[in-house]
Amino acid sequence: MTLLKVSDLVVEFQDAATGRINRACNQVSLDIEAGEIVGLVGESGCGKSTLGRAIVGLEHPKSGSIVFDGVDILSLPAAARRQARRRVQYIFQDSLAALEPRQTIGSALHEALIIRGERNPRARAARIGEILAATNLNSGILTRRPRELSGGQRQRVCIARALLAEPKLLICDEPVSSLDTSLRAQVMNVFLNLRDELGVAIVLIAHDLALVRQASARVNVMYLGRIVESGPSGALYAQPLHPYSRALTAAILGIDPEVERHREQTVLKGDLPSPFAPPSGCSFRTRCPDASDRCAAAEPAALVREGRSVRCKLYDETAAVN
C-alpha cells in the first residue's frame, strides 16, 4: 500500500539580496510504501533535507502534491494540514540541538505525551516503558539530561520521542552521521526493528551510501533538486544507470567482486553548479563523462521501467533498463 505519494513537488528559496531563485526541489516525485525503508542520497546541497522538510511541513512548496495516508495534504487549510501530518515525524541530525538541555529525558517524554492529550501519569509511564524497549534504551536514562548521554543514546531518545506520536512515517535526516561506527549500528538496528515490529516506514536521508544500501529497499538519487534515478537498492548499486549514480556508488568500498566487475569507475568532475543558475537541459551535464550536445537542449524525461526510473539521455525509449 502506498503510504506517501509526492508528485511534481517544487520548493523554491529566493535570495533576499539579489531576488534570484534557488529551486531546491524541482518537480520531485517519490512513492513510499507502508513499512518500507527508502534511501535518499546525493551531495550536500542537492535538496534532500528540503524535500524531507517539505513532506513534514517545515517548508512550503510552491506547487505539486503530497498525499499521505490517502489525504492530499497541500489542498487542506493549515490546521487540517497539521492534523493530517500528525503521523509523520522528523528526526534531525543534531540530537543535542533537538532536545532541551535542562530538561530530563523523562520530563521530555512525558511532555510529548501530555501535548498529545494523555493526562494520566501511569498511562504515560507505561507507554514510555514500551517506547524505551522499542528503542533499546534503559529506564535509567529517564533521570538524565541530554549532555549526560552518548550521541547514540540521544539519537535513540529523539526516535523514542517521535514514536510517542505513533508515526507511520519517520523522516530521518542524516540520523547517524555524527556517530561513530558502533553507535551507528545501534541506531540503524532500531530503525530495522521499527520497520519489522511496528511497520513504520522510514525515509533515510544520508551521505553514507553503504549504510543506505544495507537498510533500504529502494534508493532515490538526487542531484541539484531533481531525483535523477530511483530503484531497488540491490539493482541500483549493482548496476547504476545514471552517470551520477555511477559516480556516487563507485566511491563505496567493499562491494562483492561480482558487483565490482560491472562497476564503471566514474570520477565526478568539478563542483555542484550554483543552484541559482543551473545548467540548461540536463543539470548534471557539466560534470558528466557521457555528456553530448543534445544534453544541453532539454531536460531528460524520466524513463520508468521494471521498478526503476532514470533521467538521462543515454536511456531513450529503445534502451533496456534492467
Ligand X SMILES: Nc1ncnc2c1ncn2[C@@H]1O[C@H](COP(=O)(O)OP(=O)(O)OP(=O)(O)O)[C@@H](O)[C@H]1O
The site for ligand X (CB under 6 A) is made up of 13, 22, 24, 42, 44-50, 275
Output the nine-digit C-alpha cell for 198.
511496528
Please identify, using beta-carbon distances, which residue of 131 and 268 lies nearer to ligand X. 268
DSSP codes, 125-191: HHHHHHHHHHTT--GGGGGS-GGGS-HHHHHHHHHHHHHTT--SEEEEESTTTTS-HHHHHHHHHHH
Asked if 222 and 11 count as a contact pair (C-beta separation under 8 A), the reply is: no
Please identify, using beta-carbon distances, which residue of 141 and 170 lies nearer to ligand X. 170
Measured from the CB of residue 245, what is the shortest distance to ligand X in angstroms?
A: 15
Please identify, using beta-carbon distances, which residue of 40 and 241 lies nearer to ligand X. 40
- Dist CA 51 CA 30 (whole Å): 10
Please identify, using beta-carbon distances, which residue of 111 and 174 lies nearer to ligand X. 174
Measured from the CB of residue 24, what is the shortest distance to ligand X in angstroms?
A: 3
Measured from the CB of residue 41, what is the shortest distance to ligand X in angstroms?
A: 9
Please identify, using beta-carbon distances, which residue of 9 and 46 lies nearer to ligand X. 46
Measured from the CB of residue 230, what is the shortest distance to ligand X in angstroms?
A: 16
Measured from the CB of residue 9, what is the shortest distance to ligand X in angstroms?
A: 12
Asked if 282 and 299 count as a contact pair (C-beta separation under 8 A), the reply is: yes
- Dist CA 299 CA 63 (whole Å): 19
